[in-house]
Amino acid sequence: MIHKDKPICESLVIVQYIDEAFTSGPSILPSDSYDRAIARFWAAYIDDKWCASLFSIARAKTDEEKATAVGGVTTGLGLLEQAFKKLSKGKGFFGGETIGYIDIALGSYLGWLRAAETLAGSKYIDETTTPNLTV
């Protein structure tokens, strides 16, 4: 992204930049510094750890590699389900009432997740295993 003739790289960095540079609307990051750190942690987890497992499904050459990748995706979704239950406080988004940073981080991979589900012939987000993340 280029803003004021200055380049900004990396998706999550761009999202944070937009949140800080354009303050006329609601913030996507919590106002409390600890809550902001938690949101950044989960977004980084999604982007760095969980996404690697997701993309490994398509790159898997053996059934064992595929099973390992699927295990990483489902384990990660289990952790995200727990985080959602804790952070959302019963509301519709990780941040509560409105869409926030973690929602954007995870939401950006939902198309890839659907593609992985199609490739594997499995559902990873469903009402029984991840009821709060079901889209």
**Sign of dihedral through CA atoms 82, 86, 90, 96?**
negative
pLDDT digits (tens, 9 = 90+) for 10-33: 999 999 999 999 989 889 999 999
Domains in the chain, CATH or no CATH each: 29-120 (1.20.1050.10)
- CA-based max dimension of the chain: 51
Between strands 2-3 and 6-7, the pairing is antiparallel
pLDDT digits (tens, 9 = 90+) for 62-99: 999 989 999 999 999 999 999 999 999 999 999 899 99
